[in-house]
Amino acid sequence: MFFEQNDTYLYISSRLRGTIKGMVAKNAGLPATPADLINVDEVIGKYYDLVPDPSIAEQRVIFGTSGHRGSSLKTSFNEAHIVAIAQAIAEYRAKAGVTGPLYLGRDTHALSEPATRTAIEVLVANGVRVRIDSRDDVVPTPVVSQAILTHNRAADGSQRFTGNDIADGIVVTPSHNPPTDGGFKYDPPTGGPAPAEATNAIAARANELLGSYKSVKRTPYEQAIASDLVERFDYREHYVDDLSNVIDFDVIRSSGVRLGIDPLGGASVNYWPLMNEKYGLSIDVVRPQVDPTWSFMTIDHDGKIRMDPSSPYAMKGLVDSLNNGAWKKYDLVGGTDPDADRHGIVCPDWGVMNPNHYIAVCVEYLFGGNRPGWPENAGIGKTLVSSSLIDRVATSIGARLVEVPVGFKWFVDPLFSGEVAFGGEESSGMSFLRKDGRVWTTDKDGLIPDLLAAEITARTGKNPAQLHQDQVSRFGESWYRRIDTPTTLEQKQKFAHLTGDDVTATRLAGEEITAKLTTAPGNGAAIGGIKVTTANNWFAARPSGTENIYKVYAESFVSPDALDKVLDEATDVVDKALEG
């Protein structure tokens, strides 16, 4: 039951679209086979051997919603890219007056270590102080954000973004993307994803350098790593020590809640044992394997290995083992992806929770009197493709809703200002304020949602899935789905030109259309696509910022059949727009 009811991410072949909807790969949810695994030596070898051609769009530097991503095998993530991007970042931070250390983290993807070495060579050659892990270990994305923000905190507790010794950072990660991929993202002094003006400038300069990357000055790695510019920093100790300011460990410890964690072979793997040691918890790392081929995974919805802790396909191997007797060891299980900026929640008799459902549970708990130190009028931040269940919960507790476009960067400033105390998105990313109302991280943190699930269970006596069922009884059941369809760069660009006039229909799934949005209600920013709403249904369509796919999100509070009708009509709208 759990597998079907949480089926959220569906892949539709462009060849089959319109005749067979909702198809998934035949091997989705099955264990990875040798044929599914990457050749690590080949992936790393191509990083050095293949040189991108700047005249080919797919081989240029492209910053999506969270940095540049690509594959060495496709000549979209290679040494030349990292040399050019690292040089562009060094120049950008110098112009911005960022003179402090650059906090550098990486995940467990095969390309992350060679890309980190390349970046260090370029950064040191530019005179940048680089802080790497004191144990030479991997470092999660939120840990880099937290390190930047605590470094940039003034004596009075306020955040500094300019002035002497201001820090910024880089995380080398493609997040949950397949093992073939690499990623490289810049965090400015605000600690979160860089805004468009920064990423556009960095990408433009990197592409200027790409064709002549060999002329960029580099310090040989062995010389660079031994220089005074490379500083050792205990990321793990620093982050875990600070966690008590955002999570109530006393209630977790006193309740005896048993939390299992699956790091999915990622950068959080060594953080959980230290939490046990410091806070006297009962956290067990369910699968501690770190394997750059991710041979222990089950296949995701589209036939690829993808380390998404919110996907029932990717998590099916874990859930099967729990249902086959391992549940006797745990009250609930959490997961994180390779850079630990995404979370997944697994509950007994339920399976993997839909991220939308967990967000709704979190906001009702957090804003329902369990964070008395938060700013009184702080709102709930959500992306406009997240479930309307969150809207209904917000209304019921009298909390203000701030709806923004897709991308966690839209929560950075609101978290600092206290406009929102919580930011969450349907793709299982969230962060929220410290207990005293100050900012925790401005990037997604996959560790604290797993810990919050234990806190919620400890304080309420119900796990998040049970609390979701309580919400359904009060606010109604909804059916939500996201469909991913392959597309081209040219087609993706057409989404930016969509307007409400492209939707000529006046009704959606039998209900009167109430809004046709191309900007987000919470901040007026362009959504890069369109959202159409009725009283009980909606859909949104937008291109992915990191992959050549477009996404159609839809939800109905009416019925599964109504959801299918919404998707049918949404597909027609998108097809006409792309053909125009």
pLDDT tens-digit profile of 234-286?
999 999 999 999 999 999 999 999 999 999 999 999 999 999 999 999 999 99
pLDDT tens-digit profile of 115-173?
999 999 999 999 999 999 999 999 999 999 999 999 999 988 888 888 899 999 999 99
Whole-angstrom distance, CA of residue 342 vs CA of residue 403: 20
Fold of the 478-579 domain: TATA-Binding Protein (3.30.310)
| Residue 490 pLDDT | 80
User: Distance between alpha carbon 431 and the CA centroid of its chain, in Å?
Assistant: 11
Whole-angstrom distance, CA of residue 435 vs CA of residue 494: 43
The DSSP code sequence of 151-180 is HTB-TTS-B--SSTT--EEEEE--TTS-TT
| Residue 572 pLDDT | 81
| Residue 483 pLDDT | 86
Instruction: Judge whether residue 558 has pLDDT over 60.
Output: yes
Q: What are phi and psi of 120, to 5 degrees?
A: -60, -40
41-233 CATH: 3.40.120.10
What is the rounded average pLDDT for all residues in the chain? Answer: 93
Using alpha carbons, select from 108, 36, 92 the residue that is nearest to residue 296.
Answer: 36
Same fold, 41-233 and 243-475: yes
Residue positions annotated with a catalytic role: 175
Using alpha carbons, select from 129, 102, 252, 127 the residue that is nearest to residue 188.
Answer: 102
pTM of the model: 0.93
As assigned by CATH, the class of the 243-475 domain is alpha beta
For the chain, the structural domain boundaries read 41-233, 243-475, 478-579
Whole-angstrom distance, CA of residue 70 vs CA of residue 68: 7
pLDDT tens-digit profile of 22-60?
468 999 999 999 999 999 999 999 999 999 999 999 999
- In this structure, is the dihedral angle defined by the CA atoms of residues 144, 149, 155 and 161, taken in order, positive or negative? positive
